[in-house]
Amino acid sequence: MKGQQKTPLLKRASKTFLLSSAVIMIVSAIALYFYTRYLLTDEIEEELFSDKDRIERLLIDDPELKGIPPIMMVERVNSAENEQLLDTLIYDPLQDEIELFRQLSGTKEINGRQYRVTVRAMVIESENILFAILFTFLTIIFLAFVFLFYLNRSRNEQLWRPFFINLEKLKGFSLQSGQPLEFEESNILEFDELNREMKILTQRVRADYGNLKQFTEDVSHEMQTPLAIMQAKIETLINDQDLSHKQFEELSSLQNDIQRLKQLNKRLNLLAKIENHQFAAVETIGLNQILKESVATLQELTNVDITQNIQAEVRLKMDKYLASVLFNNLLSNAVKHNKKNEAIEVRLTKDHFQILNSGDAALRHPERIFERFYKESNKVDSTGLGLSIVKKICDYYDLVPTYYFKEGKHLFEINFWRN
């Protein structure tokens, strides 16, 4: 259901209820209107026929009968007429109004003479009844719906409460914290089952995560000793044997590979340590000094000019070591990907830190830049962990790192205050 707008559960339930009750109300009101009207009309007509019949019988006994105008009327006519049922408007002097009547008229031959008998009934009465019925019905059903709506809603809220509480708890679920997830108890079977499954699932996820982390730590720890042996043996070999230039080159290159493994290890370890919350920021440190030191160290290792544009004294609660790792990684990243002979610029204001280096084009996948082992090019030798460490450190201290490409410059920015 991608892209479709998501409605909250309770709102959706209320909406369904409101819609269906509105449909029921309209349909039943229409049906009731027509059925009642049919019944009332039928009733009037039946009465008209029986009235007419009664008058005709009275007319046999008394040919001079005049009737009670305008309800019942008898007239002598010359020829026979068809029976007629129609609506007519008649002035009612009592109410001083023109009223709608239903009228039945027909001729009857009595003793060789034609009489026209007309009977009428007031329609207004039946319409009044019709509307009274309809109004009463609608009022009752409307009140019932309103009542049901609120009852339903509060009932639903009650019913789904454990679900919503547990949902909030799940949102707060963190792999790193050892806190067990305590779900809200529910006497609803399905919710209870859901809780049980969620509990098992989160426990399993946590255990897997823990194992994986332990594995990484163990591997990186256990790797150190064999690496030390390899490194020591290479040094022994270089010093004890007569080697050819080619052999020495090979051994040097082995030393470089060991060095890379060592760095990889160190960085994975650092990531693990940050994840394990082994850096507690107890002191407020001045970033300016650390930045200056990082720039000075790096300047020793590159011919690229690094211009510093420091506009404010920034103090943050942060581990000193992590702060320098942060700057070192961003700086060396900028130098590595810089265009030759162009300067790198670092800016520090009270709100953010920025580092700019020149480049030909924006990254193809800027959203992946902070992923572990993600590299856009093969040309530079790196562990692929530098920027993910930057991200990790930023996350740890609630800082926001962003990447832009603007006017031929790659720009990394770290905002010190979350918006």
Partner 1 sequence: MKFLIVEDEIELQLSIANYLKRDAHVCELASDYLEASQKLEIYEYDIVILDLNLVNGSGLDLLKVLKKKEKKAGVIIISANSSLDDKLEGLDLGADDYLTKPFHLAELNSRIKAILRRGKYGGNDSITFNEIRLDTLSRTAYVNGKSIALTRKEYDLLLFFITNQSRILSKNIIAEHLWGDDSDMLDSFDFVYVHVNNLRKKLTKVGAKYLQTAYGTGYRFMED
Question: Binding residues for partner 1, per CB under 8 A?
Answer: 221-222, 224-225, 227-233, 235-236, 238-240, 243-245, 247-249, 251-252, 255-256, 258-260, 262-263, 266, 269, 273, 278, 297-298, 300-302, 321, 328, 331-332, 335-336, 381, 383
Which is nearer to partner 1, 308 or 349 (by Cβ)?
Answer: 308
Work out how close the CB of 259 gets to partner 1 at its nearest, in angstroms, rounded to a whole number: 6
Work out how close the CB of 402 gets to partner 1 at its nearest, in angstroms, rounded to a whole number: 23
Which is nearer to partner 1, 168 or 235 (by Cβ)?
Answer: 235
121-125 contacts, C-beta under 8 A, 24 or more apart: 121/44, 121/47, 121/48, 121/71, 123/44, 123/87, 123/99, 124/99, 124/100
Cβ-count burial 132-170 (b if 16+ within 10 Å, e if not): ebbeebeeebeeebeeeeeebeeeeeeebebbeebeeee
Q: Are strands 306-310 and 400-406 parallel, antiparallel or unpaired?
A: unpaired
Which is nearer to partner 1, 153 or 336 (by Cβ)?
Answer: 336
Work out how close the CB of 325 gets to partner 1 at its nearest, in angstroms, rounded to a whole number: 9
Which is nearer to partner 1, 39 or 243 (by Cβ)?
Answer: 243
Residue of 171, 120, 159, 129 lying closest to 33 (CA atoms): 129
Query: How is 47-105 classified by DSSP, letter by letter?
Result: HHHHHHHHHHHHHHH-TT----TTTEEEEEESS----EEEEEEEEETTTTEEEEEEEEE
Which is nearer to partner 1, 141 or 243 (by Cβ)?
Answer: 243
Which is nearer to partner 1, 20 or 259 (by Cβ)?
Answer: 259
Residue of 261, 264, 284 lying closest to 272 (CA atoms): 264
Work out how close the CB of 162 gets to partner 1 at its nearest, in angstroms, rounded to a whole number: 43
Work out how close the CB of 218 gets to partner 1 at its nearest, in angstroms, rounded to a whole number: 11
Q: How many CA atoms lie within 13 A of 326 on its CB side?
A: 28
Work out how close the CB of 290 gets to partner 1 at its nearest, in angstroms, rounded to a whole number: 14
Work out how close the CB of 187 gets to partner 1 at its nearest, in angstroms, rounded to a whole number: 49
Query: How is 296-325 classified by DSSP, letter by letter?
Result: HHHHTT-SS-EEEEE-S--EEE--HHHHHH
Reading the block at residue 170, the tokens are: 């799940």
Which is nearer to partner 1, 182 or 293 (by Cβ)?
Answer: 293
Give Dmax (Cα) for the chain: 156
